[in-house]
């Protein structure tokens, strides 16, 4: 790599999630979702099923987004890996469980992109200033490339300003800052109305 930055990690891809049906002639688009605080309550470095509390309304939101033609893609900073609190293998095993949960609930997630680095608290290879840790856009840019996404008609929901900045830096202008208590009230009209997004 000419930049000297570590490569964005390959995502966890759910082989059974399917890409969903896009409107005829329309490019693929994503609903990018932060994980901690948007998908699960942020109890701090969640990485086990037994410590997972899903955000109210998130399964229904993901299912509805798929109905509107969005590919639900998770983009998550996972400094717990870099800090040595859990390994990448443990994170990926947990992610597989989370994907199974959503798939069984009728709201399959397509992929989870993650950044294990931290520029201050990381250990060993994880102590690095990278291009994937939000607010850097690396995870978004890789997803946009790998799934041939139209950033302009994609959307991002996050609970931190760094989520919003990362999405915008990748060309995703349709961004929403929300807390765990807000997810259940997110209007589907917002998603349906993005650049004529309703089918």
Which residues does 64 contact at the CB level (< 8 Å), separation at least 6? 188, 191
**Residue among 14, 34, 42, 163 flagged as catalytic:** 34
In angstroms, rounded to a whole number, what is the distance separating the alpha carbons of residues 63 and 87? 30
Clarify whether 182 is annotated catalytic. Answer: no
Q: How many angstroms separate the CA atoms of 116 and 88, rounded?
A: 8
Q: What are phi and psi of 174, to 5 degrees?
A: -90, 90
CA atoms within 13 A on the CB side of 161: 0
Sign of CA dihedral 152, 54, 76, 12: negative
Q: Is 36 assigned a catalytic role?
A: yes
Among 36, 42, 159, 163, the one annotated catalytic: 36
Beta-carbon contacts of 34 under 8 Å, excluding residues fewer than 6 positions away, are 74, 75, 76, 157, 158, 159, 160, 163
Active site residues per annotation: 34, 36
């Amino acid at each position: 790599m000419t930049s000297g930055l570590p490569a964005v990690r390959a995502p966890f891809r759910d082989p059974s999630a399917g890409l969903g049906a896009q409107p005829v002639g329309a490019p693929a688009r994503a609903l990018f979702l932060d994980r901690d605080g948007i998908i699960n309550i942020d109890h701090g470095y969640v990485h086990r099923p037994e410590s997972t509390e899903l955000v109210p309304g998130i399964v229904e939101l993901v299912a509805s987004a798929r109905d509107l033609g969005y590919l639900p893609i998770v983009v998550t900073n996972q400094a717990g890996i870099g800090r040595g609190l859990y390994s990448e293998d443990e994170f990926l095993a947990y992610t597989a469980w989370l994907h199974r949960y959503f798939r069984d609930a009728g709201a399959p997630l397509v992929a989870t992109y993650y950044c294990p680095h931290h520029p201050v608290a990381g250990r060993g290879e994880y102590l690095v200033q990278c291009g994937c840790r939000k607010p850097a856009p690396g995870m978004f840019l890789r997803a946009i490339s790998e799934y041939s996404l139209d950033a302009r008609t994609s959307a991002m929901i996050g609970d931190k300003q760094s989520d919003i900045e990362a999405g915008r830096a990748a060309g995703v202008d349709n961004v929403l800052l929300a807390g765990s208590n807000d997810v259940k009230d997110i209007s589907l009209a917002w998603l349906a109305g993005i650049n004529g997004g309703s089918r």
